Amino acid sequence: MDRRRFLSGATLGAALITVPWVTSGTASAKPNGLCALNVSSLTELQNAINSAAAGTVITVNNGTYTVPTGKPITITGKRGTKDQPITIVAQSRGGVTLNGEQSFVFDDSVGVTISGFKFRQSTMLDIPPNCSVIRLTRNDFQLADIEGLHWVLVRADKTKVDRNHFHHKSTLGVMLRIEGADDDKMASGVEVFRNYFSDHTFGGSNGGEPIRLGVSPRALSTAGAKIENNLFERANGDPEAISVKSSGNFVRYNTIRNSLGGIVLRHGNKTLVDSNFILNGQEGIRIYGNDHTIVNNYLSGLSSRALVVGSGTVRDHFVGESPESRRGNDAADRVLIAHNTLLNNSSTLSGETNRTIEPRDCTISDNIFVGSNGDLVAMSTTGNFTWSGNILWGSGGDGNIPAGTFSRIDPKLVQGSDGISRLASNSPAINAATLAVAPTAFDIDGQPRGSQRDVGADEYSTATITNRPLTTADVGPDAP
């Protein structure tokens, strides 16, 4: 049973134009006192940008435009605002293609939105750290498929990357990189949401991530980035679909389906990984670093490791350590892993034997582990772990989970119309959670946990589901 069901445009011959889809589906409303004009050449576009003020909307007439080498579209010294951005938008969504070496080049600008373009350039699009409040929305990114070319680099605070499609890369290179100023800082407050990442087929073992949030020298910098409600399909360029190499981030409500890559906390501390679906691919969640929280995730049908608590070559990263040390794996310490459901994966919960420094002081509580392959828990060496309230089921062995910290009982999971298995009304997981302090107020469906919490990612409820596995209708340029 499924229970959830005005700039003056005189010199350009500007015409007023309405582009209602620019802000459709967002909290932003059309700016008051909107000045709108349309342009039909790159020269007109550059002139309009040069004269634009807060609230201006510049619409580029549909067509294919080749940006001359050495003469990009420059956005310099512009001052839009959060509520009155300078908006540069295609006449119709996906109706303008930008070819050439470069497209837009940003410098010293605030409050600029780029919307509705097909980017086909042969060099990286860079949002530099002397900018802020830049938004890339409802665009199509398929840059030149050049070995080693990264497509979009965000280094500016308060950048939004939403409702875009990044797709069809077959070479080494990252689709979306988020970094910051200097060699060790991260941009703060970056939001990446409702994007569609698909069809990365690079055959190497590293360097083909859809999203890379930081890099080892920036590991201790707190980014506060939100990676939410993104869909990854056929993301086969790297074992890491979302690679986190910075601190203090939020990875929530994403769906990774039929992909090699998973979610990897490779460097950094204090990241929340909450309510993600990782389905029918290869890798799940892998954890290094300290003080992370891993809750409400649903991992099913994975052909490799579902959940790995990593060992290290170093105990902790620290300010002033050598570059060689900083690149090393930091053993996972003080990580909370609770209320997750791991169902029918090749490997369920495991540690690592290829590094010598063991994870310590982690808590693994109130999870559901169901599987038929090997041991459900194969943790290798650990230090001072706390275990409680876990449910194990299936023909897979118990492994080295401590006696008395789990129940070997059928959790009675029932598959819904969306392919996700949730608790039946008679499940022994109901009201069986053991943690004294609730790590989350909601379950993976977005339903309230209440005072008596259930084991696993699902809280048995008849309340409305607000978080389901994403489909292509939920993300990309045409998303709500």
Does residue 9 surpass a pLDDT of 50? no
pLDDT at 461 (0 to 100): 96
- For residues 146-153, give the mean pLDDT: 97
Q: How far apart are CA 98 and CA 407, in angstroms?
A: 58
Residue 13 lies in a domain: no
Does residue 326 surpass a pLDDT of 70? yes
pLDDT at 203 (0 to 100): 86
Does residue 17 surpass a pLDDT of 50? no
Amino acid identity at 268: G
Q: Name the phi and psi angles at 217, rounded to 5.
A: -65, -15
- For residues 306-324, give the mean pLDDT: 93
Region label for 77, one of left (φ > 0), alpha (ψ between -120 and 50) or beta (otherwise): left
Q: What mean pLDDT value characterizes the chain?
A: 93
Residue 134 lies in a domain: yes
Q: Strand 104-107 and strand 421-423: pairing?
A: unpaired
pLDDT at 457 (0 to 100): 98
CB 55 within 8 A of CB 10: no
Q: How far apart are CA 356 and CA 347, in angstroms?
A: 21
Spatial CB neighbours of 320, under 8 Å, sequence gap ≥ 6: none
Residue 114 lies in a domain: no
Name the 3-class secondary structure at 20: helix
Percentage, residues of the chain above pLDDT 70 = 93
Residue 443 lies in a domain: yes
CB 475 within 8 A of CB 230: yes
Percentage, residues of the chain above pLDDT 90 = 90
CB 136 within 8 A of CB 167: no
- For residues 392-412, give the mean pLDDT: 98
Burial of 427 (0-12, 13-18, 19+ CB in 10 A): buried
Q: Could you identify the residue written with the tokens 């979306």?
A: 176
pLDDT at 23 (0 to 100): 46
Residue 113 lies in a domain: no
- For residues 275-298, give the mean pLDDT: 98
Domain count, the chain: 1
Quick: pLDDT tens for 427-452: 999 999 999 999 999 999 999 999 99
Q: How far is CA 20 from CA 57, 329, 331, 473, 479, in A?
A: 11, 48, 50, 19, 14
CB 167 within 8 A of CB 447: no
Q: Strand 305-309 and strand 285-287: pairing?
A: parallel
Q: Which of 187, 135, 142 is nearest to 162 (CA)?
A: 135
Residue 46 lies in a domain: no
Q: How far apart are CA 58 and CA 115, in angstroms?
A: 10
Domain CATH number, residue 151: 2.160.20
Q: How far apart are CA 122 and CA 99, in angstroms?
A: 8
Q: Which residue has the higher pLDDT, 153 or 9?
A: 153
Residue 291 lies in a domain: yes
Domain span holding position 129:
124-474
- For residues 219-243, give the mean pLDDT: 97
pLDDT at 22 (0 to 100): 56
Residue 78 lies in a domain: no
Helix (H) or strand (E) holding 176: strand 176-178
pLDDT at 336 (0 to 100): 98
